[in-house]
């Protein structure tokens, strides 16, 4: 593992600087302003806004930034599980992103309060007491409000504890230089990975999949994990580009590391994501079970179809072709441009997961699923196939991104940009791709 190897000297290039704290404060206030304006527009009924739409949009924005943070936490755990040395110089930035899991539960509180107040049906229709459905009644052993609330607390607690353990232990090593802290993280990481995998899977079931409680997919948890890869590795590249522009970590993060980050974005954030998404679609299409096909019919046969086609080409084919060669991965400006594009595609992906819906009155107009598809294509169901995009969606997304940026900046201001006393740091400094 490299005991006794040298550490790097902590200099200005390893410190974020005062300007980061100021930028974080600005991002936080922008976030607050955007959320308040979105609330006024929605609850005031301006531009077609409504409380219904506001809380669904809140969930969309929460899923967007939550997946980015969960992707960072998983990356950290995998590096410790594999005892990777090459990533030591870049791992701290991932820790700065994962730090946000220690406070993101605050953004879930409005949704939790909504459920506890008896208005959870505004987002999850099965929570509406007036909603009587034999299929949902058959799932009541799992889909009931007390158990749902309990699970949410467990999931958020698990994310908090995991983030605090790995981020806190790594930062503690900066002060002590104790190599046993690395061994400690390696010892506990298998248990944390198991808990993380279960928590992410069932959180995806509860918070996103149960929006349409008739529909189910055993692959949905893996799909959310693939989403997390896409969001995090894209964010990863953008952060390093900004640090590079500020002359930070120029020697610690080389084109060799950029190539590997490109590999991870290509393999996990694009190819693996597309594989899981297509596999899920293919299995549902082939089985042709009504409860399952409705989910995709609402997205591919109606007004949401252009969004799905964008995901096919914008989320897969275009970035896939661009990242095929190593030369693209080693070109920092090109990689950054692709990462920004993928963050946009990641937002569309989260939006298509959360916002469309198929109410019972729309289904009642069709005798079978072919009729439903025909009606959807004709535009007859356009006003019943979910929420139309509104300015509140964009404002909440910008607001939540502002909160995320603020959290990252806060973490960077309190700890170095690199784990300079990790015993494997020397391996990272001389890393070269084969």
pLDDT tens-digit map of 259-307? 999 999 999 999 999 999 999 999 998 888 877 888 888 888 778 989 9
Query: What integer pLDDT is reported at residue 4 of this predicted model?
Result: 45
Identify the weakest region by mean pLDDT among 143-147, 158-162, 285-289, 336-340.
285-289
Q: Residue 49 half-sphere exposure, CB side, CA atoms within 13 Å?
A: 23
Helix H or strand E encompassing 147: helix 145-176
Of the candidates 116, 110, 107, 139, the one whose C-alpha atom is nearest the C-alpha of residue 126 is: 139
Residue 106: pLDDT above 60?
A: yes
Residue 5: pLDDT above 50?
A: no
Residue carrying the six token digits 């404060």: 25
First to last CA, the chain: 20
pTM: 0.94
Longest Cα separation, the chain: 73
What residue segments make up the domains of the chain, in order of their start? 12-429
Residues 6+ apart with CB under 8 A from 26: none
Radius of gyration of the chain (CA): 22
pLDDT tens figures, 410-420: 999 999 999 98
Average pLDDT of every residue of the chain: 91
Between CA 299 and CA 303 the distance in angstroms is 7
Is-contact 125 213, C-beta < 8 A?
yes
Residue carrying the six token digits 């692709």: 338
Is-contact 100 404, C-beta < 8 A?
yes
Query: What integer pLDDT is reported at residue 216 of this predicted model?
Result: 87
pLDDT tens figures, 385-427: 777 889 999 999 999 999 999 999 999 999 999 998 999 999 9
Residue 2: pLDDT above 60?
A: no
Task: Answer with the residue of higher pLDDT: 44 or 240.
Answer: 240
Residue 187: pLDDT above 80?
A: yes
Neighbours of 47 (CB within 10 A): 10
For residue 1, name the pLDDT band (cuts at 50, 70, 90): very low
Between CA 410 and CA 245 the distance in angstroms is 19
Average pLDDT over residues 359-376: 72
**Residue 45 phi/psi, 5° resolution?**
75, 15
Is-contact 354 298, C-beta < 8 A?
no
């Amino acid at each position: 593992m490299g005991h006794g190897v040298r550490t790097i000297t902590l200099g200005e290039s390893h410190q974020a600087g005062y300007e980061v704290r100021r930028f974080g404060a600005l991002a936080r206030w922008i976030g607050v302003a955007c959320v308040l304006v979105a609330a006024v527009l929605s609850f005031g009924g301006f531009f077609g806004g409504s409380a219904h739409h506001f809380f669904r949009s809140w969930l969309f924005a929460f899923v967007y930034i939550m997946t980015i943070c969960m992707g960072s936490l998983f990356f950290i755990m995998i590096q410790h599980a594999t005892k990777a040395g090459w990533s030591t110089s870049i791992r701290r930035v991932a820790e700065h992103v994962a730090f946000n899991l220690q406070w993101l539960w605050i953004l879930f509180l409005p949704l939790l309060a909504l459920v506890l107040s008896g208005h959870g049906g505004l987002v999850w229709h099965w929570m509406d007491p007036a909603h009587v459905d034999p299929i949902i009644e058959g799932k009541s052993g799992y889909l009931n409000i007390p158990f749902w609330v309990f699970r949410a607390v467990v999931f958020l607690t698990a994310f908090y504890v995991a983030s605090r353990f790995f981020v806190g232990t790594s930062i503690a090593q900066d002060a002590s230089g104790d190599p046993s802290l690395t061994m400690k993280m390696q010892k506990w990481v298998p248990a944390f990975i198991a808990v993380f995998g279960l928590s992410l899977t069932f959180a995806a079931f509860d918070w996103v999949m149960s929006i349409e409680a008739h529909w189910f997919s055993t692959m949905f948890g893996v799909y959310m994990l693939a989403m997390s890869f896409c969001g995090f590795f894209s964010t990863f590249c953008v952060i390093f580009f900004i640090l590079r522009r500020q002359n930070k970590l120029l020697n610690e993060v080389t084109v060799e590391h950029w190539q590997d980050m490109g590999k991870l974005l290509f393999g996990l954030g694009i190819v693996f994501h597309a594989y899981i998404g297509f596999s899920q679609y293919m299995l549902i299409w082939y089985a042709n079970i009504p409860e399952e096909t409705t989910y995709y019919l609402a997205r591919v046969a109606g007004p949401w179809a252009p969004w799905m086609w964008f995901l096919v080409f914008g989320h897969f084919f275009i970035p896939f072709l661009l990242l095929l060669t190593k030369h693209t991965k080693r070109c920092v400006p090109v990689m950054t441009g692709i990462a920004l594009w993928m963050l946009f595609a990641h937002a569309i992906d989260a939006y298509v997961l959360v916002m469309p819906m198929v109410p019972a009155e729309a289904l009642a107009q069709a005798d079978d699923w072919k009729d439903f598809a025909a009606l959807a294509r004709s535009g007859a169901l356009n006003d019943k196939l979910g929420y139309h995009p509104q300015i509140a969606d964009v404002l909440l997304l910008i607001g939540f991104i502002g909160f995320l940026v603020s959290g990252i900046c806060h973490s960077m201001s309190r700890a170095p940009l690199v784990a300079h006393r990790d015993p494997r740091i020397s391996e990272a400094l001389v890393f070269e791709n084969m």
